[in-house]
């Protein structure tokens, strides 16, 4: 229904206009006024859809009427038609200025009146509709904006709640090591006040030492923009109990994709570790005696063999079989038999040194790995003691039984180079011992006197070799993974043995360590390697030389003094020398060795831990070691792609080493696949047959001249 208001002082006009207006549409209500003031008063309470007004009226003219009308509430947009007899522009202008929408000329043409009025009415309705739609839209928008804000606020809050209730310790830190965020779980673990933590240095949360390590790992993430592979670490909470965590670090990026922080999350895996440890124990131990089983024995042999490769003392495998155990079982029954085995196991265990391994292989068979056997006499003496120990178990449970055992001995490396060979040969020797009516031990194959004679002969040959200059050095290239360039070489000792040819250190190194020749020999190696490296230096080649030092030599000589002296003699820059030591060097006297190592570093030479991972030191230990490089042992590199355990060890070594600012070198790289993996893990340098076997110095120099970047081409 449309409301049309007509204002005119003349009755006739009012009537005509009212009639015309009523015919515009079906549903029209028309209101007419003779007096504009009356009309305004009425309009204050109604909003019309169209106003038609005369211009010339006695009390106020049309312009004034429109002005006042426009001021009424919601009348600003209502169309107003002015009817006038005047054609002058000044009237029209006044009317327009006061807000008229259209004009009709008097006398009014009826058809024109209806058309104009109808159009204005329609236009107005459309405008009203549009306005109402716009305001609805606006309202809806306002509501949804509000809802979105609330939803966002809610989701942030619930996210924070989720993060707080996760059973994971989560924190984030900025480049300067200040904490940006710490979740409730972590705060609870360390027992701090949440207010203290934000903005504090990570050291507050993790403790000074651990904090420094975490901070330098964060820096790696900032620099690479990539997450770190996860690693295991130990942390101690407010209850003082050490717990094991698996920790990941990943970059946090801001809106512009710049790394603005590093998120550290640590999952407590102590329980899982314990279970794993338990399962591992079960897998590696004999349930009856709780002694290591065959699997663990093999693993221990693998370690000893890895160490023997670099000339550690030989070790002996003793295979022990009880004599007459069948009688115990037959006479006293199986459970007594079990008790007997347990008793023998306990007695034998009492006779072991901590570095030896006693294992039960099954039935009445035991094996003993005797580490550090200087001579076969050592092994014989040990076997005698073991036989006595077994005899001591006689008269078991007052049964009147006499007990004894037979022992077969195989010595590494003479009697076998791998575990299987050694087990087989010790077994053969054991059967020979049994054949002697028991309570007896036998060496595999060669008898003891022949062994001793051989040793003496070899000693003589080696002594002459040193006098006759039969020793020489081979060099194996070391390649930097970032540049692909050869950056150094490891000097490896060779003996040009008359009648035999070039032989490696495996053949003679343990002899020269045993007979003391290692001291002059290795001094020769050091001098010779420095001399050779000085010739590289003179040619302007940026190369380092690695020299292996023997633990024996380290104990007997003031190494820092000797090194300083040889550097002075040869003119080699200290930074071009890299001394390789094995972990076993520190077992005896950590403090004295640490002091020497520090002095060597102070001289400016590099110090590497060789064959890292095969020795005694845990990753934690290396932190206290004054060295600047680690060489990951080749046994881990060999199985990198097949053994998940080895891959994890390599990853842990690299991660920890890097956080301590050490350079990481991997040895024994033979394939492109191993190389790719080592590169992915973040190794700095590599060495192995893939790039070149150990070779004479001139071949090494020739290789340098013709090799384009090696690692890059791989």
Where along the sequence are the contacts to Mg ion (CB under 5 A)? 548, 580, 610-611, 667
Cβ atoms of residues 665 and 681 within 8 Å:
no
Residue number closest to ligand C2E, CB atom: 310
Taking the least distance from each CB to ligand C2E, the nearer of 303 and 342 is: 303
CB of 492 to ligand C2E, least distance (A): 4
Cα 422 from Cα 304, distance rounded (Å): 12
Sequence-ordered list of residues with C-beta below 8 angstroms from that of 323, at least 6 positions apart, any chain = 403, 404, 405, 406, 434, 438, 439
Taking the least distance from each CB to ligand C2E, the nearer of 266 and 476 is: 476
Cα 65 from Cα 95, distance rounded (Å): 10
Cβ atoms of residues 502 and 539 within 8 Å:
no
Which residue matches tokens 């890292």?
Answer: 612
Q: Is 694 in the site for ligand C2E (CB under 6 A)?
A: yes
* Site stretch for ligand C2E (CB under 6 A), options 308-316, 331-339, 596-604, 706-714: 308-316
Q: Is 522 in the site for ligand C2E (CB under 6 A)?
A: yes
Applying CB under 6 A, among 611, 646, 663, 681 the residue interacting with ligand C2E is 611
Q: Is 578 in the site for ligand C2E (CB under 6 A)?
A: no
Sequence-ordered list of residues with C-beta below 8 angstroms from that of 386, at least 6 positions apart, any chain = 318, 320, 348, 351, 368, 405, 407
CB of 581 to ligand C2E, least distance (A): 9
Phi and psi at residue 501, in whole multiples of 5°? Answer: 110, -160
CB of 580 to ligand C2E, least distance (A): 6
Cα 508 from Cα 522, distance rounded (Å): 13
Angle between helices 89-97 and 62-71 (to 10 degrees): 10
Q: From the list Mg ion, ligand C2E, none, pick the one residue 506 interacts with, judged by a Cβ distance below 5 to 8 Å according to partner type.
A: ligand C2E
Taking the least distance from each CB to ligand C2E, the nearer of 247 and 582 is: 582
Give the length of the chain.
714
Applying CB under 6 A, among 94, 186, 309, 677 the residue interacting with ligand C2E is 309
Taking the least distance from each CB to Mg ion, the nearer of 580 and 685 is: 580
CB of 653 to ligand C2E, least distance (A): 15
CB of 397 to ligand C2E, least distance (A): 51
Q: 701 is written with which tokens?
A: 């120099």
Q: Which residues between 624 and 683 bind ligand C2E (CB under 6 A)?
A: 634, 667-670
Applying CB under 6 A, among 370, 548, 614, 659 the residue interacting with ligand C2E is 548
CB of 485 to ligand C2E, least distance (A): 18
CB of 190 to ligand C2E, least distance (A): 42
CB of 310 to ligand C2E, least distance (A): 3
Q: Is 305 in the site for ligand C2E (CB under 6 A)?
A: no
Cα 543 from Cα 385, distance rounded (Å): 53
Q: Is 357 in the site for ligand C2E (CB under 6 A)?
A: no
Cα 393 from Cα 404, distance rounded (Å): 9
What residues are paired with 347 via a beta bridge? none
Cβ atoms of residues 65 and 7 within 8 Å:
yes
The 8-class DSSP code of residue 691 comes to T
Applying CB under 6 A, among 14, 215, 307, 310 the residue interacting with ligand C2E is 310
* Site stretch for ligand C2E (CB under 6 A), options 163-171, 185-193, 405-413, 686-694: 686-694
CB of 706 to ligand C2E, least distance (A): 20
Taking the least distance from each CB to ligand C2E, the nearer of 124 and 412 is: 412
Strands 577-582 and 606-612: parallel
Q: From the list ligand C2E, Mg ion, none, pick the one residue 376 interacts with, judged by a Cβ distance below 5 to 8 Å according to partner type.
A: none
Cβ atoms of residues 429 and 370 within 8 Å:
no
Q: From the list Mg ion, ligand C2E, none, pick the one residue 292 interacts with, judged by a Cβ distance below 5 to 8 Å according to partner type.
A: none
Q: Is 79 in the site for ligand C2E (CB under 6 A)?
A: no
Taking the least distance from each CB to ligand C2E, the nearer of 406 and 548 is: 548
Q: From the list ligand C2E, Mg ion, none, pick the one residue 574 interacts with, judged by a Cβ distance below 5 to 8 Å according to partner type.
A: none
Applying CB under 6 A, among 62, 177, 251, 311 the residue interacting with ligand C2E is 311
Q: From the list Mg ion, ligand C2E, none, pick the one residue 40 interacts with, judged by a Cβ distance below 5 to 8 Å according to partner type.
A: none
β-sheet with 102-105: strand ranges across: 28-33, 2-7, 50-54, 80-84, 102-105
Cα 312 from Cα 437, distance rounded (Å): 35
Q: Which residues of 587-617 are buried (b: 16+ CB within 10 A; e: fewer)?
A: eeeeeebeebbebbbeeebbbbbbbbbbbeb
Applying CB under 6 A, among 689, 702, 709, 712 the residue interacting with ligand C2E is 689
* Site stretch for ligand C2E (CB under 6 A), options 151-159, 477-485, 535-543, 688-696: 688-696
Contact map string, positions 474 to 513, toward ligand C2E, x by CB under 6 A: --x---------------xx----------xxx--x----
Q: From the list Mg ion, ligand C2E, none, pick the one residue 694 interacts with, judged by a Cβ distance below 5 to 8 Å according to partner type.
A: ligand C2E
Residue 413, preceding peptide bond in cis (omega within 30° of 0): yes
Strands 404-412 and 315-323: antiparallel
Sequence-ordered list of residues with C-beta below 8 angstroms from that of 149, at least 6 positions apart, any chain = none
CB of 514 to ligand C2E, least distance (A): 13
The 8-class DSSP code of residue 108 comes to P
Tell me the DSSP string of 447-487.
-HHHHHHHHHHHHHHHHHHHHTT-EEEEEEEEEETTT--EE
Q: From the list ligand C2E, Mg ion, none, pick the one residue 28 interacts with, judged by a Cβ distance below 5 to 8 Å according to partner type.
A: none
Q: Is 525 in the site for ligand C2E (CB under 6 A)?
A: yes
Q: From the list Mg ion, ligand C2E, none, pick the one residue 505 interacts with, judged by a Cβ distance below 5 to 8 Å according to partner type.
A: ligand C2E
Cα 569 from Cα 590, distance rounded (Å): 30
What residues are paired with 105 via a beta bridge? 84
Closest CA to 491 of 567, 539, 544, 538: 544
Applying CB under 6 A, among 49, 268, 596, 610 the residue interacting with ligand C2E is 610
The SS3 of residue 445 is coil
CB of 492 to Mg ion, least distance (A): 7
Cβ atoms of residues 265 and 167 within 8 Å:
no
CB of 586 to ligand C2E, least distance (A): 16
Q: Which helix (H) or strand (E) holds 268?
A: strand 259-268
* Distance set, CA 545 to CA 148, 476, 491, 714 (Å): 66, 10, 7, 24
**CA dihedral (238, 242, 246, 250) positive or negative:** positive
* Site stretch for ligand C2E (CB under 6 A), options 30-38, 154-162, 544-552, 601-609: 544-552
Q: From the list Mg ion, ligand C2E, none, pick the one residue 525 interacts with, judged by a Cβ distance below 5 to 8 Å according to partner type.
A: ligand C2E
Which residues contribute to the site for ligand C2E (CB under 6 A)? 309-311, 476, 492-493, 504-506, 509, 522, 525, 548-550, 580, 610-611, 634, 667-670, 688-689, 694
């Amino acid at each position: 229904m449309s409301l049309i208001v007509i204002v005119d002082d003349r009755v006739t006009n009012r009537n005509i206009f009212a009639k015309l207006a009523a015919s515009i549409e079906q549903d029209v209500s028309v209101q007419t006024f003779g007096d504009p003031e009356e009309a305004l008063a009425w309009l204050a309470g109604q909003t019309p859809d169209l106003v038609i007004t005369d211009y010339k009226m006695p009390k106020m003219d049309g312009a004034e009427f429109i002005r006042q009308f426009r001021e009424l509430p919601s009348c600003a947009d209502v169309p107003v038609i002015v009817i006038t007899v005047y054609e002058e522009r000044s009237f029209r202008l006044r009317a327009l200025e006061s807000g008229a929408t259209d004009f009709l000329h008097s006398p009014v043409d009826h058809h024109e009146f209806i058309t104009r009025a109808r159009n204005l009415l329609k236009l107005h309705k459309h405008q009203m509709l549009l306005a109402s739609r716009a305001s609805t839209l606006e309202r809806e928008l306002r509501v949804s904006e509000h809802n979105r804000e609330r939803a966002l606020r809610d989701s942030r809050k619930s996210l924070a709640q989720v993060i707080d209730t996760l059973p994971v310790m989560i924190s984030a830190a900025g480049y300067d090591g200040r904490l940006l965020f710490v979740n409730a779980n972590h705060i609870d673990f360390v027992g701090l006040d949440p207010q203290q933590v934000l903005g504090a240095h990570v050291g507050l949360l993790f403790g000074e030492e651990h904090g420094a390590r975490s901070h330098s790992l964060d820096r790696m993430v900032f620099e690479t923009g990539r997450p770190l592979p996860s690693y295991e670490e130990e942390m101690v909470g407010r209850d003082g109990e050490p717990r094991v965590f698996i920790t990941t670090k990943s970059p946090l990026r801001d809106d512009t994709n710049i790394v603005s922080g590093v998120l550290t999350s640590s999952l407590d895996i102590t329980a899982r570790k314990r279970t794993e440890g338990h399962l591992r124990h079960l897998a590696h131990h004999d349930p009856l005696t709780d002694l290591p089983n065959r699997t663990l024995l093999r693993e221990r042999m693998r370690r000893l063999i890895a160490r023997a490769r670099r000339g550690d003392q030989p070790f002996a495998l003793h295979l022990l079989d009880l004599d007459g155990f069948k009688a115990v079982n037959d006479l006293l029954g199986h459970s007594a038999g079990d008790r007997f085995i347990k008793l023998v196991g306990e007695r034998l265990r009492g006779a072991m040194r901590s570095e030896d391994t006693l294992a039960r292989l099954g039935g009445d068979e035991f094996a003993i790995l005797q580490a550090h056997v200087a001579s076969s006499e050592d092994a014989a003496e040990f076997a005698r003691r073991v036989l006595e120990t077994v005899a001591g178990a006689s008269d078991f449970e007052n049964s009147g039984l006499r007990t004894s055992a037979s022992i077969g001995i195989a010595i590494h490396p003479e009697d076998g180079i791998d575990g299987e060979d050694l087990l087989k040969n010790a077994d053969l020797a054991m059967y020979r011992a049994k054949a002697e009516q028991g309570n007896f031990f036998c060496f595999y194959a060669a008898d003891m006197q022949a062994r001793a004679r051989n040793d003496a002969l070899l000693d003589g040959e080696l002594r002459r070799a040193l006098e006759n200059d039969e020793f020489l050095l081979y060099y194996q290239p070391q390649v930097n993974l970032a540049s692909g360039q050869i950056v150094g070489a490891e000097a490896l000792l060779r003996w040009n043995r008359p009648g035999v040819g070039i032989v490696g250190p495996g053949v003679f190194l343990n002899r020269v360590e045993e007979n003391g020749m290692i001291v002059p020999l290795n001094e020769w190696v050091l001098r010779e390697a420095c001399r050779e490296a000085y010739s590289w230096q003179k040619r302007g080649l940026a190369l380092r030389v690695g020299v292996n030092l023997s633990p024996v030599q380290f104990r007997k000589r003031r190494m820092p003094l000797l090194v300083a002296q040889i550097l002075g003699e040869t003119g080699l820059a200290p930074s071009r020398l890299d001394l390789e030591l094995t972990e076993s060097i520190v077992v005896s006297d950590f403090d004295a060795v640490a002091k020497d190592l520090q002095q060597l570093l102070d001289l400016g030479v590099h110090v590497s831990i060789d064959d890292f991972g095969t020795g005694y030191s845990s990753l934690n230990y290396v932190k206290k070691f004054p060295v600047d490089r680690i060489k990951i042992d080749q046994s881990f590199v060999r199985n990198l792609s097949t053994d998940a355990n080895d891959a994890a060890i390599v990853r842990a070594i690299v991660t920890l080493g890097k956080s301590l600012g050490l350079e990481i070198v991997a040895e024994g790289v033979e394939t492109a696949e191993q190389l790719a993996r080592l590169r992915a893990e973040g190794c700095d340098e590599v060495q192995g047959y893939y790039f070149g076997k150990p070779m004479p110095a001139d071949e090494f120099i020739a290789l340098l001249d013709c090799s384009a970047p090696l690692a890059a081409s791989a």
